[in-house]
Structure 1
């Protein structure tokens, strides 16, 4: 094996745990309703792979999760691919204006949302709203 190939492979295996943690559950039709009906607190991340704002939000979310495992333990994070579901019934029902929108739901209620915001304090506050609802 060439040294370069080894270094690339070693680097990739080092990042795999972070990649797994980074992702929420991929959205499929009916998933949100199913999880809400089960009593879960849902954190929706409407994003596109090409969106720089979405990537900035994801970095903040992952950093906050890394600092406190309670978020991952108590909240259901669902990633909604904007390219696939941007015109879906879910987007219409929740009146989602664009990708890079973060929404927290519990039961029949929307507890908060951020549209195109990347400030860590704002995202932390939204995640805290979700955590408080999930652990109440």
Structure 2
């Protein structure tokens, strides 16, 4: 999209993060963790870190694919890392985005854990080949 481009006529840096965020929302919805559930529980995902490695330019009107994998997590899913890879239509990897996050009680403004049933759903996100359980 035109709004995703920068002055060099390739996808602007922040658009990569936008596509990764959208992919996370979609995978969470697939796991039964949609915005209505978060609002009801007063819980939401937060990020501590977001790192992008740019490998190839993405130009105007290019089709991309974004993958989502759980690369690290506590056993209860309370802290986690998700890796996204963005591929061009020809299968060339254009970027890797890694985010470290957790869950926050939006009323108390403190870190929390998901209820057990929802944590089980969250932990069903496809795991990376190098998945690591963290303490």
* Structure with the largest fraction of strand: 2
Give the alignment's TM-score, normalised by structure 1: 0.27
* Structure with the largest fraction of helix: 1
Give the alignment's TM-score, normalised by structure 2: 0.27
